[in-house]
Amino acid sequence: MTENDAEATEDAAEDAEAEEEPDGLQDGDFVRLSYTARETQNDGLVDTTSQEVAEEEGVDEEEQTFEPRIIVLGEGHLFPPVEADIKGKEEGDEGSVTVPAAEAFGEKDSDQVRTVSSDKIPEDERYPGAHVNVDGEHGHVEAIIGGRARVDFNHALAGHDIEYEYEILDVVEDRLERAKGLVNAFLDIDLEMWLETDEVEEETYVSPGDDEDADEDDEDEGHFETETVEKESLYIEATPQLTMNQQWMMGKQQIAQQLIDRLGIDRVVVQETIDGMGGGPMGGMMGGMGGGGGDIEDALEDADVDADELVEELEDDA
C-alpha cells in the first residue's frame, strides 16, 4: 500500500466515524425546557412551566413553582414520544407533539369503574366528582345511589391524548445546576446544594501476596489498611420538606445513585443542621441535673426542708 493509499484509508475511516455520531441532542443530555401540556379532548391544562399560562388557567400557585425545568433525555422525565421528538434537535428549537393516550396515562379500563359501599367514603366526599381514597386506591366518585357509590379508579386523564408544545432553552453543562434540576425532576422541591472535595479515610483489604512491604519470610494472610483518599461529594441540605417527602423516603438510594452516575461524583451527603435551643427551660433542667449536689441543696433550702431530716425519713422508710 502506498502512502497515498494509507492516507485515503485513514480519511475514509474518519469520515465514517463522523457519520456514525448522531447530530443534535441525545440520551444523557441535560436540557432546560419550557413547555405546556394539554389534553386534546377538552383542551384542559395538564402541566406547564409558564407563570402566565398558570395565571390564565387559574391554577393554585401556592404550592407550585412555574419556571423552565431541567430534564435528562432518556431518563423518562417526559413521555417517550416527547423525548423522541426532542432528540436530534438543537438549542433554541421549538416543537409540538401529541402523545397517544396509551403512551400517556393509559387507555380507560372499564374494570376499574367499580361499585363500593358508600360507608367507605367520608360523608363530606359523597358527591359526584369528589376525589377519594378507597382501600388504598385513588379514584373519583361518579355517582352515589343509596348506600352504594360508583367510583372510577382510572387515572383522571386515562383515555386522553396529551399535546405538548415546547421550546429548548439551553443545554445545561454546570454540574451543580444539573444536580438541582435532577433532584427537582424527582421530587419537585428546591434544595440547597453544593459540591466539595473531601478527604476521607477508607479501609482497603490487601489480599495475600499483594503486600509489597511484607517480608518474604512472613506469612501474609491478608489484612486491612487505612488510607486517606479524596472524594468529590454533593452535599444536600436536609429540610423538613425533604425528609418528609414520600418519594425521597421510598427512593433516596435510587435518586442518589442517579446523581452519582450522571454527575460523575463519588458520593451524596445529606446534611441535617440543628440549631441550638439557647438557655430555654430544657437547658436549665439539664444544667440542674448535671450540676452536682449544690443545686439540689439550694432547692431544699428554698423549700424550707432540712436535708438531714429528709435523709433520716428515707432511711426509716427503707
Distance of CA 124 to the CA centre of its chain: 34
- C-beta atoms surrounding 105 within 10 Å: 20
| Averages of pLDDT over each 10 residues, the chain, 318 residues | 60 58 90 96 92 89 83 93 96 96 94 92 90 91 92 93 97 94 88 91 76 55 82 92 90 92 93 70 45 53 58 60
User: Looking at residue 38, what is its pLDDT?
Assistant: 96
- Domain 110-152 architecture: Beta Barrel (2.40)
User: Looking at residue 201, what is its pLDDT?
Assistant: 83
C-alpha cell at position 194 = 453544593
Class of domain 13-104+161-170 (CATH, top level): alpha beta
User: Looking at residue 144, what is its pLDDT?
Assistant: 92
pTM here is 0.69
- What are the pLDDT digits (tens) for 29-63? 999 999 999 999 888 999 999 999 999 988 877 76
Is 25 in contact with 73 (CB distance < 8 Å)?
Answer: yes
- What are the pLDDT digits (tens) for 54-102? 999 888 777 678 899 999 999 889 999 999 999 999 999 999 999 999 9
User: Looking at residue 284, what is its pLDDT?
Assistant: 44
Domain ranges for the chain, please list them. Answer: 13-104+161-170, 110-152, 174-271
Q: Cell 493509499 appears where?
A: 5
